[in-house]
Structure 1
Amino acid sequence: MGVVVLVTGVARHLGARFAAEVRRRPGVDLVVGVDVQPPGPPVEEPDGPAAPYTFHQLDLRRPAVSRVIAGHRVDTVVHLSVSATGLGSTNRSAVKEANVIGTMQLLGACQKASGVRRLVVKSTTGVYGSAPRDPAVFSERIQPKDPPGGGFAKDAAEVEGYVRGFARRRPDVAVTVLRFANIVGPHADTPLSEYFALPVLPTVLGYDPRLQFVHEDDAVEVLCRAADEPVPGTVNTGTFNVAGEGVLLLSQCARRLGRPTLPLLLPAVSWMAALGRRTRLADVSSEQLRLLTHGRVVDTTRLRETFGYRPVFSTPEAFADFAAAEGPGLLPPGRLAAATDRLAALISPEGPAPAAPNVVPNRPRRPRS
C-alpha cells in the first residue's frame, strides 16, 4: 500500500494548493483533508493521474481527528492549520486555542497511531521575534534575545515546543518543522498582504526594515519535499528556515507597489494599526508592527545544503510577482522612484545614490525535480 497523507488547514489557499499538488506525487494512494470549514472551489484540478481525495470537516480541538487517522491508516501528517487568523472568527483567544490546543490534540492522535511515520509542521520565522538587539541574520540554532510575547508568533513557538516533545516520545517518526518567511504570491492571503494592499502605507518614522519573502510556489514545493522520502544525499528532517534569497527594504517594497508611504511616530502607527483591526481594514498585529519596525532576516544555508532545495524565486522576484497581481498603486513605480531620487538630491549635496531598480525582471525558472 502506498502513502496516505493527512493535511490540516485545507480550507486556506496554501493547504488547498498543497493537497492538490501532493495528489500528483508518485506513491501517494490517498490524501485526506481536514479543516473546521469546508474548502472552497478546488484551486486546480490535477492533470493526469492523481490520488483520490477525501475531506473531513472537524475541529482539531476535538478528539475526532484520532478516528480519521486510524480509519484511513494515515502514515504522513502535514499540519498547515497554525495560522495568524482564524476561519470565521477574529477573536484572538479562539485563534490561539485553534493553533495550540488543536496542535496538542493532533499530536496526541499521532502519538497513539502506530502507523504514523512522518510529521511536517508549518511554522514561521516570526518565532525569532523582531527587536532592535536582534542579530543581523538568524540561523536555526540561534535563540532570540527578545522572543515574541504574544500573537501568532508566540503560538508558533509554543507549537514548536509541543512538536519537540512529540519527537522525543516518538523517535520512530520523522519530524520536520518549516519556518516560513512571509509567504507572497498572486493569491497570498496573509495579514502582511493586507497591509501592502492599503492605498497608503503607514511606516514608523526613522525605520526602514529589511524583509524577506517566500513565493507560494516555493512554499508548496518545500512542503511536498518534506512529505516525501528524502532525496539521496539530503536530509529532510529537523528545523529549516524557508525564504527566498536576498532582502528588500520596506521602502523598496512600497516603490515596487507604487504605494506612497506615510512616516509616523510609533504611537501613531500603533493607533492606526488598532483602528485597522477594529474596522477590519487590515489585520496588522503588534508582532507585524514590530516586523515593520525592526525587520528580520534568516539564514537559509540548511535549506539549500541539508534539505537540498534552493527556492526558485528570490525575495525580490517573489515580491515582484505579488506586486504584479496587486495591480498599479496610486503612483506608477517609475514616477515614484523618480520623485524619491529628486527628494534625495535636494537633501544630499552630493546628489542621490544610485537607486535600486523598481521592477525586478523574472529570471528563467529552473525545472523542478
Structure 2
Amino acid sequence: MASSFFFTTLLLLAVIPAVIPCPPSERAALLAFKAALTEPYLGIFNSWTGTNCCQGWYGVACHPTSGHVTDINLRGESQDPIFQKLGRSGYMTGKLSPEVCNLGNLTTLVVADWKAIAGEIPACITSLFSLQILDLTGNQIAGKIPTDIGNLQNIVVLSLSDNKISREIPSSLVNLVRLMHLDLSNNQLAGELPYNFGKLTMLSRVLLSGNQLTGSIPKSVAKMNRLADLDISSNRLTGLIPTELGKMKVLSTLKLDCNSMMGQVPSTLLSNTGMGILNLSRNGFSGTIPDVFCANSYFMVLDLSFNNLSGRIPNSLSASKFMGHLDLSYNHLCGTIPIGTPFDHLDAASFSNNDCLCGNPLKAC
C-alpha cells in the first residue's frame, strides 16, 4: 500500500507542471526594458509585477523547464481583449533598452506597430544568438541596421518595415542562411543590394519597397530557389532586369515599379506561367512587348504602364488563360488591340495615352 501511494505521488508530480520562476537577472532586464517605454492607454505593463516574470506578465513567455525568458511578443495591432475592450490600437513612446540583450535565451522579440517608439536598434542585439524572430515594424526607429546582424544565425523572420532606418543594408546580412522572411520596406535605406544577396537561399519573401536603394538587381537573386515574392518597388534602381529572374520556378510576384530601370522586358518574365503579379510600371523600359504568352499564362496583375514600350500589343496575349488587371497605358504602342476573352472586361484606361492604338475598347481602327 505504501509503495503504491509513493508511485502515485510520483506520477502526480510528473503531470502537474511546476511554475519555474525566471532568473532575477532576467526579471531585472525586463523591468529595465519596461522603464525605457511609455504605454499610456492600454496598461499592458501593469501585469509586469511580482517576482516571477514567467507567470502572468503580458507578452512574456519562458522555457517550461529552465525558466529562462524566451519570448517578448508585444504588438500594437492585436485581437487581444485588452485592445478590443478599449476599441483602439496601441501607442507607445520611448526606445528599446540595451538591457534586452541580457536575455540570452530570447528566441522571439516582437515590439511592433506601436507608432512612436524611437531611438535605434541596440547594437548588442546581435549577441542574441538564439533569436529566431525579430519584428520591430511600425515604429519610428532610426539609425542603422546593426553591422553584425549576420551573427544571428538562427533568425528566420527579420521585419523592420515602416520605420526610419537609414544607411546601407549591412553586407553581413547575407550570412543569415536560415532567413525565410525579410521585410525592410518603407524606411530610408540607401546604397546597393549586396552582390551576393542570392546566398539567402531559404528566403521566400523579400520586401524592400519604399526606400532609396540604388544600383541594379544582383543576378545572384536567381539562386533563391524558394523565393515567391520580390518587391523592390519605389526605390532608385537602375540597370536591366536579369533574364534569370524569369527562370525562377517559384517566383510568382515581382514588383519593380517606380524605379529608373531600363532596357527590354525579358521574354522569360512574360513566358513564365508561374508569374501571377508582374508590375514594371513607371520605369524606362523600351523595345517591344515579347510575343510569348500562352494558354497557361495567368496574370492577376500585369502592369507595364508609364514606360517607353513601342510596337504592337502581342497577339499571343489574347490566348492567356486569365488576365485580371492589365495596364499598358502611357507607352508608345501602336496598332490594333487584340480581341479575346482576356480583353473583354478591360476598359479604355488600360490602353490610353499610347501613340496609335485602336480597336475595342478604344476607337475603331
Normalised by the size of structure 2, how large is the TM-score?
A: 0.25
Is the strand fraction higher in 1 or 2? 2
Please identify the structure whose Cα radius of gyration is greater.
Answer: 2
Is the helix fraction higher in 1 or 2? 1
